[in-house]
Amino acid sequence: MAAPAHRPTTHQPRRLSEAAAFLGVAAPAEDPELTGIAQDSRRAQPGDLYVARPGEFAHGAQFADKARANGAVAALTDEAGQEDCVRAGLPTLVVGDPRQLLGTISAWVYGDPADALTLLGITGTNGKTTTSYLVDAALRAAGNGTGLIGTIETRIGDDVEVSARTTPEAPDLHALFAVMRERGVTAATMEVSSHALTLGRVDGVRFDVAGFTNLSQDHLEIHGDMESYYAAKASLFGKDRAQLGVVNVDDAAGALLAAEAEIEIVTVSPSGDPAANWRASDVALEPTGVAFDVHGPDDTRLRVSLGIPGEFNVANGLVAVAMLHAVGIDGAAIVRGLATATVPGRMERIQAGQAFTAIVDYAHTPDAIERVLATVRPLTEGRVIAVVGCGGDRDQSKRPLMGAAAANGADVAVITDDNPRSEDPAAIRAAAIAGAKGRAEVVEIGGRREAIGWALDTARQGDTVVVLGKGHELGQEIAGIVHPFDDRQVVLEQLRRMEERS
Ligand SMILES: CC(=O)N[C@H]1[C@@H](OP(=O)(O)OP(=O)(O)OC[C@H]2O[C@@H](n3ccc(=O)[nH]c3=O)[C@H](O)[C@@H]2O)O[C@H](CO)[C@@H](O)[C@@H]1O[C@H](C)C(=O)N[C@@H](C)C(=O)N[C@H](CCC(=O)O)C(=O)O
Ligand SMILES: Nc1ncnc2c1ncn2[C@@H]1O[C@H](COP(=O)(O)OP(=O)(O)OP(=O)(O)O)[C@@H](O)[C@H]1O
Ligand SMILES: N[C@H](CCC[C@H](N)C(=O)O)C(=O)O
Ligand SMILES: [Mg+2]
């Protein structure tokens, strides 16, 4: 269950009549004071304006009575929702498309709190969470009170809670900014998912700097094709969305974006393309991390060390460095911050005295699986054993590609379940196995615990077991129920059992 919605306490409340004037619509006779805003009845709080909008499954107006019971004092809806909101006893404003106004009105209710923060946003298929942790660590090293919003957790200064989404809906987002503002946060870093860009979750936000890591196949269930997926990501680099962009031009979509974006773009090249503004060189890949030289504008030269292995993390690190430089963080703080950053469930080694390496990672796209396996291969004397599953109710066309990436990169590919959600797990596995043609022996084991157990039992001295796809996740969603499940814990327990047996 998501944590209760944040609400600032020191902002100037608004009146419903002011909201009507702001939106240019008729004001009802009743004119309550508005202290907050919600688009989900379950998260509504006393004094809220409830925005009742149509969605994929329902119209929010169906829940207007629940929003009122939770304390909402007024509604903003469309014509279709008007009757239900009025019947629920809420003075109601009617607009053409409430979803489209959600960001603007949320920012307005809290007095544009994002304006008080230095805001850094990161998009891309893979690497958003990792890059955001690197950026946040360096902002803190430079003495900032920071906020962090993303897949794993939401942080306001030292307060941390588990996130429900990568990018929250606009009312929650602006409330978070407002709480950050009143708690003295000066810089906030956030992941901007393609869902968020498509669904207007960051409307009303203008980033000081936006970063782009890469684009590869994912989420075609919402975007339809790669062109639309690219367009969603690229929209973060529009004039009203960001002041400056930092783009990885080693990535083909990044190169396109750098060429066509309407805002100023700073380019980064992890492979060291001399034409890029920021370049990496002298990369040292270690089992526990990666180090590289950074060459930037004005003869900037830094030696950066990350405690997260993987050549792909050079790209994340370089994007982070250029974003930090863009908001005025000095090189020493950048180096200090990046050296201390850790990201839960990303290339995380699990150790219980075993004679082989065990790693939990969040790779859940074909590209990420390929890169992670390419990272562990040269660090492994023996076999690479990969445990992989594909999520249900998500892009179906990535499943055979994930199977192929596992079969090409590993010696043994154990195809298992990863959040089947509403789908038949066996059918999902079959789709992955259909593509799993390559060097690896392919083994199908449905239950994830059994699959992990088998992989660890099979491993011998010098092998590496990589358990992919869930990283930091704490549950396995099967048929609408989230069962507690933590890959890191499951691996550790199994390793300890093996230790006891030996
Ligand atoms: C595409 C999407 O994000 N859909 C989310 C959305 O659905 P929806 O807008 O169509 O809403 P709906 O369920 O039809 O309901 C309509 C309206 O009624 C409201 N409502 C609904 C039920 C209720 O009891 N009370 C209530 O007020 C809803 O808040 C909404 O305003 O609102 C639903 C409930 O409010 C969410 O469960 C649902 O999340 C989906 C399932 C989800 O999980 N989205 C994921 C994929 C997502 O957003 N992921 C991205 C990217 C991840 C990545 O980085 O790869 C993310 O940013 O996290
Ligand atoms: N720059 C990168 N290029 C390719 N793969 C990467 C990169 N960075 C990380 N990965 C892989 O992708 C996985 C997810 O990384 P991370 O959580 O940082 O990405 P994300 O974009 O936040 O993902 P999500 O959209 O699911 O939140 C990592 O565990 C790793 O396997
Ligand atoms: N943000 C991604 C995470 C996927 C993680 C994987 N465990 C899965 O369930 O597919 C999504 O919601 O599609
Ligand atoms: Mg993420």
354: Cβ below 6 Å to ligand 1?
Answer: no
Considering the chain, what is the average pLDDT of its residues? 96
pTM of the model: 0.95
35 is an annotated ligand-binding site residue: no
- What was the pLDDT predicted at 2? 67
- What was the pLDDT predicted at 397? 95
pLDDT band at 172 (very low <50, low <70, confident <90, very high): very high
98: Cβ below 6 Å to ligand 3?
Answer: no
Q: Which two tokens stand for residue 129?
A: 């969470």
Quote the CA–CA distance of 51 and 39 in Å, as a whole number. 5
Q: Which numbered ligand comes closest to the C-alpha of 392?
A: 3
Closest by CA to 316, choosing from 135, 120, 167, is 135
Nearest residue (CA) to ligand 2, atom 8:
127
Nearest residue (CA) to ligand 3, atom 9:
391
Which residue type does 46 have? P
Q: Which ligand 1 atom lies nearest to the CA of residue 164?
A: 58
Quote the CA–CA distance of 476 and 490 in Å, as a whole number. 12
**pLDDT digits over 223-275, tens only?**
888 899 999 999 999 999 999 999 999 999 999 999 999 999 999 999 999 99
Question: Vertex 130, ends 352 and 483: CA angle to 5°?
Answer: 60
- What was the pLDDT predicted at 217? 84
Ligand 2 contacts (CB < 6 A) are 124, 126-130, 151, 166, 191, 193, 213-214, 312, 315-316, 346, 361-363, 367-368, 371-372, 471
Quote the CA–CA distance of 129 and 190 in Å, as a whole number. 8
pLDDT band at 3 (very low <50, low <70, confident <90, very high): confident
| 3 state SS of 483 | strand
Q: Which two tokens stand for residue 155?
A: 């942080």
Share of the chain above pLDDT 70, in %: 100
Residues 6+ away with beta carbon under 8 Å from 394? 219, 221, 421
**pLDDT digits over 43-63, tens only?**
999 999 999 999 999 999 999
Residue 275 backbone zone (phi > 0: left; psi -120 to 50: alpha; other: beta): alpha
Residue 499 and residue 354 in contact, taking contact as beta carbons nearer than 8 Å: yes
Mean pLDDT across the stretch 201-219? 94
Q: Which numbered ligand comes closest to the C-alpha of 195?
A: 1
Burial (0-12, 13-18, 19+ Cβ within 10 Å), 59:
middle
Quote the CA–CA distance of 312 and 420 in Å, as a whole number. 28
Parallel/antiparallel/unpaired status of strands 289-296 and 300-306: antiparallel
Half-sphere exposure of 276 (CA within 13 A, CB side): 27
- Which contiguous run of DSSP H or E holds residue 122? strand 118-123
125 is an annotated ligand-binding site residue: yes
- Which contiguous run of DSSP H or E holds residue 23? helix 16-23
Quote the CA–CA distance of 316 and 180 in Å, as a whole number. 25
**pLDDT digits over 469-492, tens only?**
999 999 999 999 999 999 999 999
- CA 52 to ligand 1 centroid distance, Å: 13
**pLDDT digits over 419-445, tens only?**
999 999 999 999 999 999 999 999 999
- What was the pLDDT predicted at 66? 98
- CA 364 to ligand 3 centroid distance, Å: 7
pLDDT band at 393 (very low <50, low <70, confident <90, very high): very high
- What was the pLDDT predicted at 138? 98
| 3 state SS of 273 | coil
Please determine, for residue 1, whether its predicted confidence score (pLDDT) is greater than 60.
no
Buried b or exposed e, range 12-27, using 16+ CB within 10 angstroms: eebebbbbbeebeeeb
Please determine, for residue 206, whether its predicted confidence score (pLDDT) is greater than 90.
yes
Residue 499 and residue 491 in contact, taking contact as beta carbons nearer than 8 Å: no
Residue 411 and residue 442 in contact, taking contact as beta carbons nearer than 8 Å: no
Mean pLDDT across the stretch 108-133? 97
Residues listed for the chain: 502
Share of the chain above pLDDT 90, in %: 95
